[in-house]
Amino acid sequence: MHETGVVVVGGGVTGVGVARDLARRGVDVTLLERGELAAGASGSMHGLLHSGARYAVEDAQSARSCITENRVLREIAADCIEDTGGLFVSLPSDPDDYLDRLDAACADVGIETERLTGAEAREREPGLAPATEAALAVPDGAIDPMALVAATAADAEAHGAVIHQQTPVADLVVEDTSVVGVEVGEKTIRADHVVNAAGAWADRVAALAGVDIEMRASRGAMSVTTGRHADTVVNRCRPKSSGDIVVPSDGHSILGTTDVTVENPDSFATEEWETELLFEELTPVLPALADAELSHTYWGVRPLYEPQATGDSVGFSRDYSVLDHAERDGVAGLTSAVGGKLTTHRAMAESVSDAVCDRLGVDAESDTADAPLPDAAAAMKKYDLDSLVTRTRA
Ligand X SMILES: Cc1cc2nc3c(=O)[nH]c(=O)nc-3n(C[C@H](O)[C@H](O)[C@H](O)COP(=O)(O)OP(=O)(O)OC[C@H]3O[C@@H](n4cnc5c(N)ncnc54)[C@H](O)[C@@H]3O)c2cc1C
3-state SS, residue 55: helix
In b/e form, how buried is each residue of 1-24, taking b as 16+ CB within 10 angstroms?
Answer: eeebbbbbbbbbbbbbbbbbbbbb
- The nearer residue to ligand X, 132 or 341, going by C-beta atoms, is 341
At 118, give phi and psi (nearest 5°): -60, -45
Least distance (Å) from ligand X to the CB of residue 260? 10
Bridge partners (DSSP) listed for residue 187: 184
Least distance (Å) from ligand X to the CB of residue 222? 6
Least distance (Å) from ligand X to the CB of residue 100? 25
Least distance (Å) from ligand X to the CB of residue 284? 21
At 320, give phi and psi (nearest 5°): -100, 165
Least distance (Å) from ligand X to the CB of residue 60? 17
- The nearer residue to ligand X, 80 or 301, going by C-beta atoms, is 301
- The nearer residue to ligand X, 223 or 366, going by C-beta atoms, is 223
The pairing of strands 187-196 and 245-249 is unpaired
- The nearer residue to ligand X, 134 or 211, going by C-beta atoms, is 211
Least distance (Å) from ligand X to the CB of residue 223? 12
> What is the Cα–Cα distance from 347 to 369, expressed in whole angstroms?
8
In this structure, which amino acid lies at residue 365? E
Least distance (Å) from ligand X to the CB of residue 183? 10
- The nearer residue to ligand X, 325 or 341, going by C-beta atoms, is 341
* Residue ranges binding ligand X (CB under 6 A): 9-15, 32-35, 39-42, 45-48, 50, 168-169, 197-201, 205, 220, 257, 300-303, 340-343
Helices (H), the chain: 13-24, 53-56, 60-76, 98-109, 118-124, 145-158, 202-207, 272-282, 325-329, 345-360, 376-382, 386-392
> C-alpha angle with apex 180: 330 to 308, nearest 5 degrees?
45
3-state SS, residue 136: strand
Q: What is the largest CA-CA distance in the chain?
A: 68
- The nearer residue to ligand X, 118 or 141, going by C-beta atoms, is 141
- The nearer residue to ligand X, 50 or 159, going by C-beta atoms, is 50
